[in-house]
Structures are given as structure tokens and as C-alpha cells.
Amino acid sequence: MRRPFFLAAIVLIIAAAPLGAQDKPPRRPKLAELADTNDAKAYYDRGLELLERDPDQAGNAFYWASRLNPGWAEALYARRVAGFMNNEHMIRRYVNGDWGAISSREAQRLDTLEYRAQMINPFFIRDLERPFFVSWVRAVVNEDQRRSGGRPLDVGDEAQLDYFIEGIIRTGTSFRARAALLAGQRRFEQALDLYERALQDSRDKPSIRWERARILYGMGVYDSALVELQAAVKEMRDRDTTRMRSWYRSKELFEHATGMIHEMRGNVDSAKAAYGRALQEHLSYYPAHMRLGTLALLSGDTATAVSELDLAVQVAPDEPLVRITYGALLAQIGKPDDAETHLRRAAELEPYFAMPQYLLGRLAELKRNREAAIAAYQVYLAKASKRDGRRAEVTQRLADLAP
């Protein structure tokens, strides 16, 4: 077996920011009879089915999606959406800007999921904005109905909800709320226009610029997205803001997003500078170390790659994907024993994730330990989904290793 295999594994893994310590797992929601209980997508799809009528169970489904695939930003984001949708009182106050709701322990817990999702990918796809804001509109309408003695809306009142949503879009007093509703309906040009109008009077310009940057990035207008991010960071530095509305206001995330755009455009030096600024904001922001490690590795600078990933492990020792990435790099440069230590720790930290076992099997082959390779591959097959593209390879490896 050739060591360069691990180089491919590093590049695939290193961009992701893992979950770290997990809460006590909720019970797994029941899937369809023939569904694969090792498949993160099966749980994610089940969560989508449940989201409108039972957001609590939907949140549990999204939880298991994020455990089976800890590098999936959208699963973390979906957990956040389900959590807010499950609490009508909180979502109404939170979106309306009530600081008591924004700073509550539950809202902070849910916002942490948003933060983690953006650490994986600042520009992850936000497909659940519509149900989130529909839930908010329902909460606002229901509060008014309770005060006036009317009948609250339920999930089945779609036509009436659409009527209220269109009314807010046409005549609402908040440009930002109207823009968010339009973005949730994928009416991006109109949303960008209203976000621009919201900038004129808002005291929270950086987060509005972030929303504009996210939409522009999704539309492929990368130069304009970069302009918005740079303006947001400048405004934040000018104001030296310390009290933030939610996690996505942090400057390290803005710099992370800036670096990603520079990488996409091939501006490696500018990307490195952006990741360096992210670390100036937050020395323990390990995704920046991981991106810097990736860039160093791709340029052939193994020493810098090792240094950056070693720092990432030091500041985030309980993050399984950091351990996996470092382990793959150590295997690549001929340090199999050190690599095994990190890969085994990753498997302990995220026992539902199949990837560590796959890499342990490859590493055991590199060390010519047939029994350990067979054991790791067997565990991998027990944990991996039926759709995992490595199953056929591992099955063949087991056949080749058979006595």
C-alpha cells in the first residue's frame, strides 16, 4: 500500500470543523422499515418529514444525522432550526430582537450549533429558512390572536399563513424581516434590495452585510460577497463591538469566509492572510489552523502543515475530525505510531462515525498488521452506511487480507 493515500484523506477531511463533546444522545427516531440506520441522510430526510408537525422529533433526527456525519454543516443548522421551531415563545422574541431571548441559555445553545456549522463551512446551504420564518410568523400571529381572543393558527393553516407572510413582505415595517422572508422563498434579488435598505438605519450592519454576502456567494457573485465581508469586518473593528447578537457576528468567522473566497479565486497569499487574521481574533479557532495546514500541504510545505495541525490539536484536543486529519497527515509523512494514537482517539470521541475505522485499517496495512487491519475494516463495515463509496473497497481489502 502506498502512503500517498493518506494525502487524499487529509484534503477530504481537513476543511471540516467537528462537533467535539456531545450531549446525552436522544432516542433515535424511527425510520422506514428498510431504511439504513447508519445513514446520516436517512435521519436528515426523516427530520425534514417531521419538521413542521413535530419539530422536537425532527431535532432528534437531525442530531443523529450530525453524529453519523460530524462534518455535515447542514445537519447542525437543521438542529438549530428545529430547536427554535419547537419553542414558539422563544422564536417570536428572538427574531423580534428581544435581548432576553437572544441571551437565554437555550438560544445560546442553539446559536452554538449555527456557529459550529459555519466553522465547517461559512457558506453552507440554508434550505430551512422558509420553515424557520414561517414558524416565526405563526408565533407572531398567534400572540396577536391570543390577545384579541381569536383562534391560534396551526400547522394546517397554510393558506392563512401565506396571506400573513405576503402581507409582511409587502408592508412590514422591518426591512430586515421582509428580506429574510424573501430569502427563504429564494427571491434573492428582492432580498438583497431590502437588506440594502435595512443597512441605512440599522445599528447591526455587520450581520446584515453577512446575510448579503451569503446570498451573493450562493448566486456566484464572489467579488461582491467579498466586498460585503470586508466592509463588515471594518465596521466591527471601527466600533470594537463586544456585545454580539449571535455567533455569526464573530470576526473570525468573517475572516474564515473571506479566506475561502480567496482560495476559490486562487489567491493563496490573501487566503493565508485572512486565516491569520482569524487567529488574531481567536487563537483557538482551529478551522483556521486546519485551512492553513491544507494550503501548506498542497504547496509541499509538510513542516508547516504539521505545525498548524499540531496547534489545532492543542487548542481542540476533543475534536474528532482534528484528530483524524492530524492522524492522516502523520501517516502520510511516515509516523504510523503517532498517527494511530490520534486516529484511535478520534474513534473514541465520535464512536458513530465510520471514517476513523477506515483510516485505522489502512494504517494497520501500512504497518503490516493484518489482524488489526481486518478488525478495523470489520468495525468500519458495521458502522458505515450502505451508500458509503468505500464499502466496496473495504470488502475487497478484507478478501485480500483473508488467511
* Cα–Cα dist 321/350, whole Å: 9
Per-residue pLDDT, 247: 40
- Global pTM? 0.87
291 vs 286: CA distance, rounded Å:
9
Q: Whats the size of the chain, residue-wise?
A: 403
List Cα–Cα distances, 329 to 17, 69, 173, in angstroms: 16, 21, 53
Q: Which of 64, 101, 100 is nearest to 82 (CA)?
A: 64
- For residue 9, what pLDDT is reported? 52
**Contact 229/206 with Cβ under 8 angstroms?**
no
The amino acid at 349: L
Which amino acid, 115?
Y
Q: Which amino acid is at 139?
A: A
Distance in angstroms (rounded) separating the CA atoms of residues 22 and 349: 9
Distance CA 60, CA 48 (A): 11
- Distance from C-alpha of 46 to C-alpha of 57, rounded to nearest angstrom: 9
Distance between CA atoms of residues 75 and 66, nearest Å: 5
pLDDT tens, per residue, the chain with 403 residues: 444 555 555 544 544 444 444 567 899 999 988 999 999 999 999 999 999 999 999 999 999 999 999 999 999 999 999 999 999 999 999 988 888 999 999 999 999 999 999 999 999 988 898 889 888 888 888 887 788 777 776 666 667 777 777 777 777 667 888 888 888 888 899 999 999 998 988 888 898 999 999 999 999 999 999 999 999 999 888 876 455 444 445 689 999 999 999 999 999 999 999 999 999 998 899 999 999 999 999 999 999 999 999 999 999 999 998 999 999 999 989 999 999 999 999 999 999 999 999 999 999 999 999 999 999 999 999 999 999 999 999 999 999 998 8
Q: Helix H segments across 202-250?
A: 205-218, 222-239
CB 392, CB 377: distance < 8 Å: no
SS3 125: coil
- Give residue 135's identity as a one-letter amino acid code: S
21-148 placed in CATH 1.10.10: no
User: What cell numbers appear for 216 in the block?
Assistant: 451573493
Cell of 137: 410568523
Torsion of CA 114, 116, 121, 125, to 10 degrees: -30
What does the DSSP assignment read for 73-92?
HHHHHHHHHHHHHT-HHHHH
The answer to whether 65 and 382 are in contact (CB under 8 A) is no
Quick one: which of 99, 116, 278, 133 has its CA closest to 204?
Answer: 99
User: Using CA atoms, how far apart are residues 293 and 369, in angstroms rounded to an integer?
Assistant: 29
CB 360 within 8 A of CB 337: no
Domain-by-domain residue ranges, the chain? 21-148
Angle between helices 370-383 and 391-401 (to 10 degrees): 150
Q: What pLDDT shows up at residue 20?
A: 45
For residues 59 and 48, give the distance between their C-alpha atoms in angstroms, rounded to a whole number. Answer: 9
Rounded Cα distance between 143 and 322, Å, is: 45
Please report the pLDDT score of residue 16 as a whole number.
40
- Given this model, what pLDDT does residue 204 score? 83
DSSP tally for the chain: helices H, then strands E: 22, 0
Question: Which residues does 370 contact at the CB level (< 8 Å), separation at least 6?
Answer: 364, 401
Burial-class residue 23 by CB neighbours within 10 Å (0-12, 13-18, 19+): exposed
pLDDT in the model for residue 186: 85
